[in-house]
Amino acid sequence: MTSRTQRNTKAKREAPKSLDRAAWLMAAWRALARSGVEGVRVEPLASELGVTKGSFYWHFADRAALLDALLEDWERRATAAVIDRVDATSEDPRVRLRELVHFTTSVSEAPDAEHAIRAWGAVDGAARKKLDRVDARREAYVRALLIAAGVDEGVASFRAHVVYLALIGEYARVAHGGARTSLDAWEELLRMTLGPSSPRASSA
Amino acid sequence: MTSRTQRNTKAKREAPKSLDRAAWLMAAWRALARSGVEGVRVEPLASELGVTKGSFYWHFADRAALLDALLEDWERRATAAVIDRVDATSEDPRVRLRELVHFTTSVSEAPDAEHAIRAWGAVDGAARKKLDRVDARREAYVRALLIAAGVDEGVASFRAHVVYLALIGEYARVAHGGARTSLDAWEELLRMTLGPSSPRASSA
DNA sequence: ACCTGAACACCGTTCAAGT
DNA sequence: ACCTGAACACCGTTCAAGT
Is B155 a domain residue? Answer: yes
- Judge: A191–B185 Cβ closer than 8 Å, yes or no: no
| 8 A C-beta contact, residue B115 and residue A122 | yes
Residue B177 has pLDDT above 90, yes or no: no
Q: In angstroms, what separates the C-alpha of A55 from chain B's closest C-alpha? A: 26
Which amino acid belongs to residue A105?
Answer: T
Rounded to 10°, the helix A63-89/A111-121 angle is: 130
Q: How many structural domains comprise chain B?
A: 2
Distance B1 CA to C9 C1' (A): 36
Residue A92 sits in the same domain as residue A161: yes
Is B204 a domain residue? Answer: no
- Domain boundary residue, one of A61, A79, A98: A61
Q: Which whole-number Å values give the CA distances from B101 to A45, B76, B83, B122, B193, in the listed order? A: 44, 21, 11, 24, 12
pLDDT band at A202 (very low <50, low <70, confident <90, very high): very low
pLDDT band at B201 (very low <50, low <70, confident <90, very high): very low
Rounded to 10°, the helix B111-121/B21-35 angle is: 80
B115 touches chain A (CB under 8 A): yes
- Domain boundary residue, one of B19, B36, B61: B61
Residue B2 has pLDDT above 80, yes or no: no
pLDDT digits (tens, 9 = 90+) for B130-145: 888 888 888 999 999 9
**Residues 47..86 of B with a Cβ closer than 8 Å to A: which?**
none
Q: Whole-number mean pLDDT of chain A?
A: 81
- Judge: B122–A132 Cβ closer than 8 Å, yes or no: no
To the nearest 10°, report the CA torsion of A168, B186, B104, A132: 40
- Return the residue in B117, B176, B187 with the most chain A beta carbons within 10 A, the one to mutate for interface testing: B176
Residue A55 sits in the same domain as residue A80: no
Residue A89 sits in the same domain as residue A37: no
Rounded to 10°, the helix B183-194/A153-175 angle is: 80
Is A37 a domain residue? Answer: yes
pLDDT band at B1 (very low <50, low <70, confident <90, very high): very low
- Domain boundary residue, one of B61, B83, B110: B61
B95 touches chain A (CB under 8 A): no
- Pick the more confident residue, A14 or A101: A101
Q: Which whole-number Å values give the CA distances from B3 to A5, A122, A183, B128, B167, in the listed order? A: 54, 30, 43, 21, 32
Closest CB to B168: pick one of A121, A172, A194: A172
Query: What pLDDT, on a 0 to 100 scale, did the predictor assign at position A110?
Result: 60
Query: What pLDDT, on a 0 to 100 scale, did the predictor assign at position B13?
Result: 32
Is A204 a domain residue? Answer: no
Is B170 a domain residue? Answer: yes
- Judge: B168–A169 Cβ closer than 8 Å, yes or no: yes
Residues A155, A101: Cα–Cα separation, whole Å: 19
Query: What pLDDT, on a 0 to 100 scale, did the predictor assign at position A124?
Result: 78
Query: What pLDDT, on a 0 to 100 scale, did the predictor assign at position B12?
Result: 31
Query: What pLDDT, on a 0 to 100 scale, did the predictor assign at position B176?
Result: 63
- Judge: A201–B198 Cβ closer than 8 Å, yes or no: no
Residue A166 has pLDDT above 80, yes or no: yes
In chain B, what residues touch A31 (CB-CB under 8 Å)?
none
pLDDT band at B187 (very low <50, low <70, confident <90, very high): very high
Which amino acid belongs to residue A191?
Answer: R
pLDDT band at A91 (very low <50, low <70, confident <90, very high): very high
Q: How many CA atoms does the CB half-sphere of B22 hold within 13 Å? A: 10
Within 8 A by CB and 6+ apart from B64, the residues are none
- Judge: A36–B196 Cβ closer than 8 Å, yes or no: no
In chain A, what residues touch B162 (CB-CB under 8 Å)?
166, 185, 188-189, 192
Residue B104 sits in the same domain as residue B159: yes
Residue B100 has pLDDT above 80, yes or no: yes
pLDDT band at B111 (very low <50, low <70, confident <90, very high): low
- Pick the more confident residue, B9 or B68: B68
| 8 A C-beta contact, residue B182 and residue A165 | no
Most confident of A24-33, A116-125, B77-86: A24-33
Over residues A90-103, the mean pLDDT reads: 92
Q: Look at A39-53, A56-70, B14-28 and tell me which has the smallest mean pLDDT.
A: B14-28
What's the CATH number where B171 sits? Answer: 1.10.357.10
Residue B146 sits in the same domain as residue B118: yes
| 8 A C-beta contact, residue A104 and residue A167 | yes
Residue B37 sits in the same domain as residue B91: no
Closest CB to B122: pick one of A116, A189, A195: A116
| 8 A C-beta contact, residue A189 and residue A97 | no
Residue A109 has pLDDT above 90, yes or no: no
Q: Look at A14-18, B50-54, B80-84, B144-148 and tell me which has the smallest mean pLDDT.
A: A14-18
Tell me the whole-structure pTM to 2 decimals. Answer: 0.71
Residue B80 sits in the same domain as residue B34: no
Within 8 A by CB and 6+ apart from A51, the residues are A19
What are the DSSP calls for chain A, one per residue? ----GGG-SSS-SS-SSS--HHHHHHHHHHHHHHH-GGG--HHHHHHHHTS-HHHHHHH-SSHHHHHHHHHHHHHHHHHHHHHHHHHHH-S-HHHHHHHHHHHHTT-SSTHHHHHHHHHHHTT-HHHHHHHHHHHHHHHHHHHHHHHHTT--HHHHHHHHHHHHHHHHHHHHHHHTTPPPPPHHHHHHHHHHHHS-SSSSPPP-
Query: What pLDDT, on a 0 to 100 scale, did the predictor assign at position A108?
Result: 59
A198 touches chain B (CB under 8 A): yes
Provide the percentage of residues in chain B whose pLDDT is more than 90. 47
Q: Whole-number mean pLDDT of chain B?
A: 82
| 8 A C-beta contact, residue B155 and residue A188 | yes
Residue B177 sits in the same domain as residue B84: yes
Residues A121, B119: Cα–Cα separation, whole Å: 9
Domain that holds residue A6: 1-61
Handedness of CA B63, B65, B68, B70 (dihedral sign): negative
Distance A5 CA to C3 C1' (A): 17
Query: What pLDDT, on a 0 to 100 scale, did the predictor assign at position A118?
Result: 78
